[in-house]
Amino acid sequence: MRMHNVIAAAALAASFVMTAGAGLIGPLSDYTNGVASFTIGDKKFDQFQYVINSGDMPLAVDISIYDLTTPDIGLRFTGSFHDEVGDPASDATIQFRVTVMRVRS
């Protein structure tokens, strides 16, 4: 019985649907596992990757994802993106897939 609860909780955490204007989605690190996804409107966001290429970029756990729904659907990433004085330029890549879900009639 307990095992079923754990599996159900994991499935719920891995994918969810958001309504317009929901705000904070969560830390980027929650979505870089290759499994987790979320849906805003008719758009499914998944397969997130975050690569620190150089410099003083924040860890994925320190980057927040917010939904943007006015006037169109989009995402905003916030974190402590900066360069320390005297260090080389900082660079990172955030990549993800967006799929338009079919509306069934």
Q: What is the pLDDT along the chain (105 residues), one digit of tens a residue?
A: 333 333 333 333 344 454 445 599 999 999 999 899 999 989 999 999 999 998 889 999 999 999 988 888 899 999 988 888 888 888 999 999 999 998 776
Amino acid at 8: A
* Beta strand pairing call for 64-68 and 37-40: unpaired
> Which residues fall within 8 angstroms of residue 81, CB to CB, at 6 or more apart?
57, 58, 90, 92
Q: How far apart are CA 61 and CA 29, in angstroms?
A: 5
For tokens 């900066």, the residue is 82
Given a contact cutoff of 8 angstroms between Cβ atoms, the answer to whether 99 and 46 are in contact is: yes
Give pLDDT, residue 70: 81
Kindly list the domain boundaries of the chain, sorted by start residue.
2-100
Give pLDDT, residue 85: 84
Give pLDDT, residue 100: 94
Given a contact cutoff of 8 angstroms between Cβ atoms, the answer to whether 40 and 24 are in contact is: no
Q: How far apart are CA 34 and CA 36, in angstroms?
A: 6
Name the token pair of 102. Answer: 């079919």
- Residues in a beta bridge with 26: 65
Give pLDDT, residue 57: 92
Give pLDDT, residue 64: 97
